[in-house]
């Protein structure tokens, strides 16, 4: 197989933040078999490879000194696991939201709360996407990879993936694994997860909730709060919700009695959006970028921004939150390089 290599390719529409960026070398990967060839090509140039999915969790610089390989591996393969579950193996390049909708149409459940999350199936395990009371980790059976360190195809079980809040082995060992497929263990019987309070409110007093009702409600909540990257460039949450110690939380809650906080394995998780809003930054516009007016943990690009613009805004937000609350915010999208 010979690679179709393009040069000086504009990546502005290949990252949902819409940052101006250019790839010196660019290859579309439609089959996993091509991956070793891409690795060999990058090695021959003495360059690293940037494996690009939907580009929804990246902060790209103007020039990418790497071989950029866009993963477009398609396909959905379904087989019954037992009476109650099916196993669905999905190509990394499939669109996440389309897959969620398809699963519900097939009568396969567990992903409804994760509707409308931008990006590809292959990106879902990387940051263990989570929303409205559900993390994707609980539905993942196996992640199929090319291990660039060992130079072979391999697979990881859910426990090998070491999933945590917006975290996984793929995030902790960046560049090592190229995800080719993900298999999901989905339920054949529907049981709604209404643990997120605003979702429970939508269905208060309603006895029977269908998977499609839940899917629609999640889409409505997202559409009301979060900007659609196709209309206003963004990478979803720009910061993780910060974990603080119990004494730190107690100290803050004396000054701010209504501070939202969630239980965490150690200490408490605070809401980054709340902290940013209280710091007076919600809706702030700084040059071509800004803090979204409806959800303060989302930074947006109004057009023409570069990495420098978004990073300057991120620094300002982090600085204000640190000064006001003594809490450190951690950036979620990964800077490259
Ligand atoms: N809040 C504010 N102001 C804001 C935003 C939030 O005061 O501008 C408050 C809310 O009123 C609420 C609390 O903060 O009391 C939490 O807000 P929300 O329920 O909207 O969720 P979040 O913690 O801000 C997380 C995820 C989202 C996910 C939602 C719903 C992170 C970093 N983000 O946001 O994920 O959709 O929960 O489950 O954990 C994404 O990944 O791109 C994303 C949007």
332 is catalytic: yes
Between CA 105 and CA 215 the distance in angstroms is 11
For the Cβ of 160 lying below 6 angstroms from any atom of ligand 1, the answer is: no
Q: Which is catalytic among the residues 135, 237, 306, 320? A: 237
Encode pLDDT of 24-61 as tens digits: 999 999 999 999 999 999 999 999 999 999 999 999 99
| Ligand 1, pocket-test mutation among 280, 297, 299, 332, most atoms within 8 A of CB | 297
Can you tell me which atom of ligand 1 is nearest the CA of 133? 38
Known catalytic membership, residue 166: yes
**Could you tell me the distance, in angstroms and rounded to a whole number, from the CA of residue 241 to the centre of ligand 1?**
8
Q: What's the pLDDT score for residue 138?
A: 98
To test the pocket of ligand 1, the residue of 271, 327, 331 to mutate (highest count of ligand atoms within 8 Å of its CB) is 271
pLDDT, residue 203, reads 97
89 confidence band (pLDDT: 50, 70, 90): very high
CA 291, 293, 296, 300 torsion-angle sign: negative
Per-residue pLDDT of 216-240, as tens digits, reads 999 999 999 999 999 999 999 999 9
Q: Is 336 in the pocket of ligand 1 (CB under 6 A)?
A: no
267, 244 Cβ separation under 8 angstroms:
yes
CB 124 within 8 A of CB 159: no
Counting beta carbons within 10 angstroms of the beta carbon of residue 188, is it exposed (0 to 12), middle (13 to 18) or buried (19 or more)? middle
Q: Decide if pLDDT at 1 tops 90.
A: no
- Closest ligand 1 atom to Cα of 295: 8
Which pLDDT tens digit goes with each residue over 251-308? Answer: 999 999 999 999 998 999 999 999 999 999 999 999 999 999 999 999 999 999 999 9
Verify whether ligand 1 is closer than 6 Å to residue 158 (CB atom): no
* 292 CB near ligand 1 (under 6 Å): no
- Confirm whether 154 is a catalytic residue: no
Q: d(Cα 117, Cα 36) in Å, to the nearest integer?
A: 30
């Amino acid at each position: 197989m010979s690679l179709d290599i393009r040069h000086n390719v504009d990546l502005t529409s290949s990252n949902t933040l819409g940052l101006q960026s250019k790839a010196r070398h660019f290859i579309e990967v439609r089959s996993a078999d091509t991956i070793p060839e891409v690795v060999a090509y990058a090695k021959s140039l003495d360059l690293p490879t940037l494996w690009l999915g939907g580009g929804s969790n990246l902060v790209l610089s103007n020039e990418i000194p790497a071989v950029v390989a866009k993963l477009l591996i398609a396909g959905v393969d379904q087989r019954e696991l037992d009476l109650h579950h099916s196993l669905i193996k999905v190509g990394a390049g499939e669109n996440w939201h389309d897959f969620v909708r398809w699963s519900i149409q097939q009568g396969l459940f567990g992903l409804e709360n994760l509707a409308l999350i931008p990006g590809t199936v292959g990106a879902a395990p990387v940051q263990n996407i989570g929303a409205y009371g559900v993390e994707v980790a609980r539905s993942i059976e196996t992640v199929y990879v090319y291990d660039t360190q060992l130079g072979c195809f391999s697979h990881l079980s859910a426990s090998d993936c070491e999933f945590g809040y917006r975290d996984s082995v793929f995030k902790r060992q960046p560049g090592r694994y190229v995800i080719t497929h993900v298999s999901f263990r989905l339920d054949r019987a529907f049981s709604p997860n209404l643990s997120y309070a605003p979702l429970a409110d939508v269905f208060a007093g309603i006895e029977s909730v269908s998977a499609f009702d839940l899917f629609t409600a999640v889409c409505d909540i997202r559409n009301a709060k979060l900007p659609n990257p196709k209309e206003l460039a963004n990478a979803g949450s720009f910061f993780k919700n910060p974990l603080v110690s119990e004494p730190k939380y107690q100290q803050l809650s004396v000054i701010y009695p209504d501070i939202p906080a969630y239980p965490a394995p150690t200490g408490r998780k605070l809401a980054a959006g709340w902290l940013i809003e209280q710091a007076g930054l919600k809706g702030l516009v700084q040059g071509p970028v800004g803090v979204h007016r409806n959800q303060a943990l989302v930074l947006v690009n109004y057009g023409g921004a570069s990495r420098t613009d978004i990073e300057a805004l991120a620094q300002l937000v982090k600085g204000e939150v640190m000064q006001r609350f003594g809490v450190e915010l951690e950036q979620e999208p990964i800077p490259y390089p």
